[in-house]
């Protein structure tokens, strides 16, 4: 059995003391590949360093909506350069976050659009963060897909929307990222909508060090906990874990154009 963590932040400070051990625990838990997205320019640089240090790690580069105000021409030029690295497999995480509004909404929308254009230039999929901004995200993504329908789409990371949103973005070629909240005892909407989505459009992630799954909620998350997310998803889909794992792994490899495990 094999799993791919499609979203974890190994470069973040909570892993400074035991990063090597975290990767080794992931491998021991059959998590063979990890995607490390950037959140700002510095973490995008660090993501690439993680990918250079660990054969199992791939990087994404991008500016999170919280830091959208920092995306000027200089930063954008460097992101274009970083996107050329052979282990960069996506642009992200990018998108809109109207819950915290740490950058103005106008700045977030502009940064989102410019980074979607960056992804199109490099023919890379995107990792989208969406929180309380579903309609604006749909509007921007719809326009982008209309212009770049033959371009790789991407994934809606740690999906928290409703069934209508999920079906719409799947129609546009996106995958739905499932993370730790699906395991929470108080989870309601996500467990209800997942049985209505095609397994061919699902991937799993940890968002480590955040969104720790049950029963470790409240502790630091890490990629070794990914099988807990997959196990809960298998229960909701009434599917053997081994069968689901094969689907999820194939989906992630297709999404990020990853080589087979034996080639990593």
Backbone angles phi, psi at 178, to 5 degrees: -110, 125
Q: How do residues 117-130 score in pLDDT, each as one tens digit?
A: 999 999 999 999 99
Return the higher-pLDDT residue of 260 and 140: 140
Burial class (CB in 10 A: 0-12, 13-18, 19+), 219: exposed
pLDDT of residue 263: 52
Contact 154, 126 (CB under 8 A): yes
Q: Which residues contact 75 (CB under 8 A, 6 or more apart)?
A: 41, 63
Q: Is the pLDDT of residue 170 over 80?
A: yes
Three-state SS at 127: strand
Q: Is the pLDDT of residue 260 over 90?
A: no
Bond preceding residue 209 cis, omega within 30 of 0 = yes
Q: Assign 40 a pLDDT band (cuts: 50, 70, 90).
A: very high
Q: How do residues 190-231 score in pLDDT, each as one tens digit?
A: 999 999 999 999 999 999 999 999 999 999 999 999 999 999
Q: Is the pLDDT of residue 42 over 70?
A: yes
| Alpha-carbon gap, residue 4 to 34, rounded angstroms | 6
Q: Is the pLDDT of residue 150 over 90?
A: no
pLDDT of residue 152: 86
Would you list the DSSP string of 18-65?
Answer: THHHHHHHHHHTTEEEEEE--SSHHHHHHHHHHHHH-TTEEEEE---G
In this structure, the strands spanning 88-97 and 57-61 are parallel
Q: Where does 3-263 sit in CATH, by number?
A: 3.20.20.140
- Kindly list the domain boundaries of the chain, sorted by start residue: 3-263
Q: How do residues 68-104 score in pLDDT, each as one tens digit?
A: 999 999 999 999 999 999 999 999 999 999 999 999 9
Q: How do residues 43-66 score in pLDDT, each as one tens digit?
A: 999 999 999 999 999 999 999 999
**What DSSP character marks residue 84?**
T
């Amino acid at each position: 059995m094999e799993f791919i963590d499609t979203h974890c932040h190994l470069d973040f400070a909570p892993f400074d003391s035991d990063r090597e051990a975290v990767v080794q625990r992931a491998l021991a838990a059959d998590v063979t590949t990890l995607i490390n997205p950037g959140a700002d320019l510095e973490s995008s640089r660090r993501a690439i360093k993680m990918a250079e240090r660990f054969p199992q790690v791939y990087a994404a580069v991008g500016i999170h909506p919280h830091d959208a105000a920092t995306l000027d021409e200089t930063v954008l030029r460097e992101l274009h350069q970083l996107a050329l690295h052979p282990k960069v497999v996506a642009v992200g995480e990018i998108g809109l976050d109207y819950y915290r509004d740490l950058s103005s909404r106008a700045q977030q929308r502009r940064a989102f659009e410019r980074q979607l254009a960056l992804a199109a230039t490099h023919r890379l999929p995107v990792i989208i963060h969406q929180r309380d901004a579903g309609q604006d995200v749909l509007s921007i993504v719809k326009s982008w897909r209309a212009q770049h329908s033959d371009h790789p789409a991407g994934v809606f990371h740690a999906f928290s929307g409703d069934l209508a949103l999920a079906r719409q973005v799947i129609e546009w070629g996106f995958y739905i990222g499932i993370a730790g909240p699906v395991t929470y005892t108080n989870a309601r909407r996500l467990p209800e909508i997942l049985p209505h989505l095609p397994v061919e459009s699902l991937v799993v992630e940890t968002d480590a060090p955040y969104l720790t799954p049950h029963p470790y909620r409240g502790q630091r998350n890490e990629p070794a906990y990914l099988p807990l997310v997959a196990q809960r998803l298998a229960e909701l889909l009434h599917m053997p874990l081994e069968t689901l794992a094969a689907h999820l792994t194939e989906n992630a490899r297709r999404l990020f154009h990853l080589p087979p495990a034996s080639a990593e």
